[in-house]
Chain A
Amino acid sequence: EVQMLESGGGLGQPGGSLRLSCVASGFTVGNYAMSWVRQAPGKGLEWVSSIGAGGGSTYYADSVKGRFTISRDNSKNTLYLQMNSLSAEDTAVYYCAKDQTSFMTTPSEFDYWGQGTLVTVSS
């Protein structure tokens, strides 16, 4: 059974950093493009970042490029999102999501999502 569990959310300071983790089971994260999608309170979904399968090409939304870094540890079957220079606009529930098709180097559609972790940026 595929499961993904995010952690690392919480209260972050403006200008500060947080690191989100997404531990996966039931599949190998290295074989799939993996993504982070966020949802601000009461708002819609926003794609944040993706990492391709295999070699791991990375992609970022303009709103987070240069501040956020996506990575994964295949030995731990875990996806990460390092978030630096946080601002109030980064306040959201952050979901990790798995691509439906294996071995894709670019993100496509997501067949499994975690339950999300809330990040609140406030002083």
Chain B
Amino acid sequence: SSELTQDPAVSVALGQTVRITCQGDSLRTYYASWYQQKPGQAPLLVIYGKNNRPSGIPDRFSGSSSGNTASLTITGAHAGDEADYYCNSRDSTGNHLVFGGGTKLTVL
């Protein structure tokens, strides 16, 4: 299967930890990347590879993977973390990319 499945919505209390998951057969072979998108803005890469953060992304963001599930964890959520989060990986061919449906994170 070339699909990636995410929960449509997740909420977290301010300062608490939240995990956003992404499931798909291709994740047994390929790492997921994670993007944050705020309204009216282009996506922003927050995690890639095994657990790598681009320059400028705070270490509150981390990634992990097990079997067919990739996870993005935000430790100590800030109000500014409220956004849509998308996972992305290669499909089974290895040449095409696929995005998950996105998870809307609400910080309470």
Contacts and interface: CB of A to CB of B under 8 A. Distances in A.
Interface of A: 35, 37, 44-47, 50, 59, 61, 95, 100, 106-111, 113-116
A106 B42 contact: no
Interface of B: 33, 35, 37, 42-45, 48-49, 54, 84, 86, 88, 90, 94-102
B96 A100 contact: no
A116 B48 contact: no
Contacts of B54: 100, 111
A65 to B, nearest CB: 10
Contact of B96 (A45, A59, A95, A114): A59
A45 B43 contact: yes
A46 B102 CA distance: 11
A116 B37 CA distance: 13
Interface of A is mostly: strand
A111 B45 contact: yes
B42 A50 contact: no
Nearest to B55: A111
Contacts of B99: 37, 44-47
B43 A109 contact: no
A114 B42 contact: yes
B96 A47 contact: yes
B35 A45 contact: yes
Contact of B43 (A106, A108, A113): A113
A50 B93 CA distance: 14
A115 B45 CA distance: 14
Contact of B86 (A44, A50, A106, A111): A44
A97 to B, nearest CB: 8
A105 B73 CA distance: 30
Given A44-B101, A45-B86, A109 B96 contact: no
Contacts of B48: 100, 108-109
Nearest to B47: A109
A109 B88 contact: yes
B37 to A, nearest CB: 8
